[in-house]
Structure 1
Amino acid sequence: MSDIRIDTLGKRFGNTQVLHDVSLAINEGEFVAVLGPSGCGKTTLLRCLAGFERLSAGTIAVGGRTVSSPGRHTPPEDRGIGVVFQNYALWPHMTVAQNVAYGLKIAGLAKAERAARVAKVLDTVELGPLADRRPADLSGGQRQRVALARCLAMQSRVVLLDEPLANLDVHLRAALEEEFARFHAQSRATMFYITHDQSEALALADRIAVMDKGRILQFAAPRALYSEPADETVANFIGEGRVIDVRSLEPMGAGRARAELLGRNAPLRCRPDQRAQPRARVSFHPGDLHLVPEAEGIPAHVIRASYRGAFLRAEVMAGPRADIPFTLNIPAPASLTQGQRITIALRDGWVLPAAA
């Protein structure tokens, strides 16, 4: 079993509370990403799970076994957890094969069995021909695969990854994203992936926990996180989200509603229990705005338009007084010029829960 249960976890360094009542229930074999800005506490959370930090409050259980609490601390080496660090943490004087085999040697595995397992996992990550090279002779992506092979060799049922793509260029990052997905599919390990990069989290994870100031704000599938944020902080953080006031919110049933946005009717999604309100806050993304005929939408004028390949990114000032900034993505082919007057409308938005 490799499910993870984190219950009301707290971590304090001196007088500074870094983690506040963090609770997560992660299923066996699930790929979970923890996403948040620098300093939000996500790496401290990983270090607590790995056993590198002792808890100030709460508990951590892996596979039904409590490994951390204020009165109990299982050492990192006894948790059955593999860790892939941002800097790879490879021994520079050892070959690729020796790096992968080192943990097995410490565990007392027989030499023949050790060699067989190392050969198998190196083939799995397509590094068999490089077994005798040293880390200095490898690319960043190859070093990352050595770190993954080390987790595979130890047959870790839980793998923690601490911003593993942060030091790589954009092309290599894309290739390694595929590598992590393949690794997860083959190993079926429970993956706990720390990142500040939204695209990584959205592409890889089964569920994402958004953190801010040491707290979990929302834990949901990528699609739900993007389209149904729990509060304004999540809405503003995910996918260039924007939050704006609307008037006369009227639920229509089946999770749909309508409201007045800058004098125009706007179709919205909402929770099934949403009530009518004179005012509400709505979140949306640049792709949720579109051009409409003059009589049907909100007047705006273009401040800047930039070509992005598949779409044109337009920054506009909108509303009766032309004082509300919006960004919208217009599918190609499209052409707008600075100062041009246009009319826009919201085709989809999410009513933020009133309790948030």
Structure 2
Amino acid sequence: MCVDQADEKNPCGKTTLLRLVAGLLSPTAGEVRMDGKTVASATSFLPPERRGLGMVFQDYALWPHLSVTGNVAFPLEMRRVGRAEREQHVVAALRRVGLEHLADRNPGALSGGQQQRVAIARAIVAEPRIVLFDEPLSNLDRELRESMVSELAGLIKSLDLTAIYVTHDQSEAFTLADQVAILDGGAVAQLATPNQIVEEPASAKIAEFLRLGAIMPLCRTAEGWSLGDSQLTLTGAPKLGVGQCARALVTPRALIARPPDMAGLTGEVSAVQYRDTSYAVSVAVASSGAPLTLQMTSDFRMRLGERIGLEIISDRLRWFPAEAHPTP
């Protein structure tokens, strides 16, 4: 996953990383290691065909003039595997992805999900150690993509694959991964389990990217902490001197609605959306910098424009250093 949007003007390195692992690029520094062995460095390079990898491309890259069987068999043909052995491997791969009954079809006659399964069968037919996925769901519509994420997760688990999966979609990454690497400017900004990243994001930038909540700028005062003209008493905060500042991640679970005269922080309800069994409420609060909107949940529907008080549960905040060069 990337902290910044990945495009030609603002790349973050996910595709480059995948190409380095696959052997489609050679590193100018550092090294790529698999099973404890160096497969690429500035002075050595093991070609792709000798790395024991499978790959599922963004557009599946299926040959339209070949049948399902022909597409899946192609990697084995390139390795000059004998016909009888090749057929055994192809049948086994198609059975593992549940497509043995479509072996004679052409890819164009298959659904998007079935084409994806063909691409996976082709990737695993040679029994690779690692399978690389390059945004394999990005070409599907949202409804099909959401259903295919769970199906793909089940396939990866049932096939006992080690997979490196490149995506810019948070829900895909968190559904599929045992560990998620978040990239920022070509470097790994955080590597952890999905739960650890949500509970303990390594930076305010990651928290904002994942939309975990609002980043609240706070400054230390003699009485406590200030947010604009509001004075707050917070426990467990960083030990800073008067006049020093920090930032805190405020998630919906860190806020409780109170009557305005019973809370140190007040705001105006700016949006209300019903979700499942509760309401997602946006509250605009005064800040010394840019406008700040906090998110919270409520069991009842609040009125737009209503003035409410907010109690902050201190031990549910995640603290970060102040920005080195805050935007004026």
Give the TM-score range, shorter chain: 0.7 to 0.9
With normalisation by structure 1, the TM-score equals 0.79
Where is the strand percentage greater, Structure 1 or Structure 2? Answer: 1
Q: Deviations over 1:162-213 (max 9, x none)?
A: 1111111222222221222222222333211111111111121111111112
TM-score normalised over the length of structure 2:
0.85
Q: Distance in 2 between matches of 1:187 and 1:80?
A: 16
Partner of 1:10: none
> Aligned-pair RMSD on alpha carbons?
2.7
Contact 2:181 2:189 in 1 (8 A): yes
Give the equivalent residue in structure 1 for 2:65: 93
CA contact (8 A) 1:35 1:197 kept: no
Equivalent position of 1:284 in the other structure: 250
Where do 1:290-305 residues align within 5 Å? 290-294=256-260, 295-305=262-272
Letter of the structure 1 residue corresponding to residue 208 of structure 2: N
CA contact (8 A) 2:266 2:310 kept: yes
Distance 2:293 2:287 in 1: 14
Q: Which amino acid aligns with 2:131?
A: V
Residue 350 (str. 1) matches residue 322 (str. 2): no
Counterpart for residue 192 of structure 1: 164
Aligned-residue identity in percent: 37
Taking the aligned partners of 2:87 and 2:241, their CA distance within structure 1 comes to 67
Contact 2:124 2:131 in 1 (8 A): no
1:126 aligns with 2:98: yes
Pick aligned residue for 2:279 from 304, 309, 312 = 312
Q: C-alpha deviations, 1:113-139, integer Å up to 9, x for none?
A: 322222222122111211111111111
Which runs of 5 or more structure 2 residues have no equivalent in the other structure?
Answer: none
Give the whole-Å Cα distance in 1 for the aligned partners of 2:142 and 2:279.
22
AA aligned opposite 1:338: L
**Secondary structure in 2 aligned to 1:291?**
strand
* SS of 2:166 mapped into structure 1: strand
Matched, 1:158 2:125: no
Secondary structure (helix, strand or coil) at the match of 2:151 reads helix
Count of aligned pairs between the two proteins:
311
Q: CA deviation at 1:298?
A: 1.8
For 1:225-284, what per-residue CA distance to the aligned partner results, in whole angstroms no more than 9, with x for missing partners? 1121212221211134422223449xxxxxxxx96664233455x8xxx65555322113
- 1:216–1:321 Cα change, 3 Å: closer
Q: CA deviation at 1:155?
A: 0.6
Aligned counterparts of 2:176 and 2:232: Cα–Cα separation in 1: 38
Call closer, same or farther: CA 1:276–1:350 in 2, change over 3 Å: same
The answer to whether the Cα contact below 8 Å between 1:248 and 1:259 also exists between their aligned partners in 2 is yes
Letter in 1 for 2:61: A
Partner of 2:304: 338
Shift of 1:71: 2.0
Farther-moved stretch of structure 1 (336-345 vs 152-161): 336-345
SS at match of 2:284: strand
